[in-house]
Amino acid sequence: MRDTPALHADPRRALLLDLYAAACSAVNGRRAVRAALATAGHAPGQDWSLIAVGKAAASMTLGALDVLGPLVRRGLVISRPGHLDPELAEWPALRCLTGDHPRPGAASLAAGRELQSFAAGCAAGQPVLVLVSGGASSLAEALLPGVGAADLATVSDWALASGAPIGVVNAVRSRLSALKGGRLAAALGHTEARALLISDVPGDDPAVIGSGLAAAGAPRPLPPLPAAIAALLARAPPAPPGAVLPAVVVGSLDAALAAVVRIAEARGLSARRLDPPAAGAVTDEASRFAHELAFTTEDLLVWGGETTVELPAEPGRGGRNQQFALLTASLIAGHGDLVVLAAGTDGSDGNTDDAGAIVDSGTLTRGAASGLEPALALAAANAAPFLQAAGDLLHTGPTGTNVGDIVIGLRRGPEPAADAE
């Protein structure tokens, strides 16, 4: 896990990186699944099938293999490009695929067909372990009859640009899907399937995680939708009923934030979690966090969730964490004692391979020195180039988990230079 080398000298940034790493480690898919299976136990000599879908699919699968090993006779692992661990190649029983993210496309539809075929091929009464993590909604899809790839693209474009809450987005997705809304669970009804989940949604509801691959939920009333989305839902065929698998959430944002507070306090820092979780428009949430940080009496303010961003017609490079970071940088300019990390726990943000950014009182000055304007960058959803020019982008690579976004604010002045008198 690395920060921009030029700014590594600031120990405050190193501290924030350590705390972010601790948060991701606390909900690492391999560790979480291994612990859950070791606690639950399993019949010796029993053969298993395994399904893993999501950004943390590879690490969750490795955790299952740590416990079940060669008892996993067949497995299907679907993740994002670049998130499949090379260690999986050592297990010939596994078939590993990548889908499209964040917009589901041809690869996601192909993965969905494979998933349907795999579920149908599971033997009656066989134990099946289903591992679901954030990103699953996009990575594997099978559409109901009469719903086409163009319809999927319409929904995806709306979901990414509208700023709609994730619960609403996933409810719309599930109404068009032959997998979501508990329909994968229903396809496994002839087996002894159970699920372990890493949650990236508020409330950790299995019916919302991965748009309900493992669990059907109660019908959800939807708010007014754009005409194109409402018309699509109106003409979509009735979805077949879903089912609910026995499921345990083994990783959550709450656990990740608790780890940050625990580690910080062990280092002698005072820390406070900000509630409720971030969920609104990124502009509002950044303003709230910056205000709370400026007036807190603690050393650290810890927050998490998932903000929403309304994208322009042609968005630039960046993601909601980078947008949050640049907005926050504009609010803490001149406050030399404030430093803020905003990052996705999966190690990626929006249409970039960067996890997010670490910003401070000098971010705007450093970025503007390259001739860039923060207001224009924000309006164009193009925060990445500005943050890159400021030396503030955070690049970690895949982390093996995905429980949403984390924001950590530190209120502490820079340490004096070693030769200061």
Tell me the HSE value of 153 on the side-chain side, using a 13 A CA sphere.
5
> Smallest Cα–Cα separation from 205: which of 184, 187, 182?
182
DSSP state of 4: -
Residues 6+ positions from 254 with CB-CB distance below 8 Å:
204
Summarize pLDDT for 367-393 with one digit per residue, the tens.
999 999 999 999 999 999 999 999 999
- The confidence band for 416, taking pLDDT boundaries of 50, 70 and 90, is low
> Smallest Cα–Cα separation from 37: which of 60, 53, 3, 16?
60
User: What letter represents residue 71's amino acid?
Assistant: L
Tell me: pLDDT of 304 over 60. Answer: yes
The whole-model pTM stands at 0.93
Structure tokens at 231: 């018309």
3-class DSSP state of 215? strand
Q: What does the chain come to in residues?
A: 421
Contact call for residues 391 and 6 (beta carbons, < 8 A): yes
Summarize pLDDT for 173-206 with one digit per residue, the tens.
999 999 999 999 999 999 999 999 999 999 999 9
Summarize pLDDT for 24-82 with one digit per residue, the tens.
999 999 999 999 999 876 766 789 999 999 999 999 999 999 999 999 999 999 999 99
- The confidence band for 1, taking pLDDT boundaries of 50, 70 and 90, is low
> Smallest Cα–Cα separation from 214: which of 249, 239, 240?
249
Predicted confidence at residue 43, as pLDDT, reads 65
Helices (H), 278-355: 282-295, 320-332
> Smallest Cα–Cα separation from 122: which of 88, 73, 78?
73
> Smallest Cα–Cα separation from 379: which of 344, 330, 333?
330
3-class DSSP state of 111? helix
- The confidence band for 162, taking pLDDT boundaries of 50, 70 and 90, is confident
Tell me: pLDDT of 5 over 60. Answer: no
**Mean pLDDT, to the nearest integer, of 327-348?**
97
- Burial of 102 per CB tally in 10 Å (0-12, 13-18, 19+): middle
The torsion angle over the Cα atoms of residues 347, 349, 351 and 352, rounded to 10 degrees, is -50
φ/ψ of 393, rounded to 5, equals -65, 145
Tell me: pLDDT of 417 over 60. Answer: no
User: What letter represents residue 413's amino acid?
Assistant: G
Q: Sign of the CA dihedral 222, 253, 209, 284?
A: positive
Mean model confidence pLDDT for the chain: 93
For the chain, domains (ranges, CATH) are 5-25+253-411 (3.40.1480.10), 28-251 (3.40.50.10180)
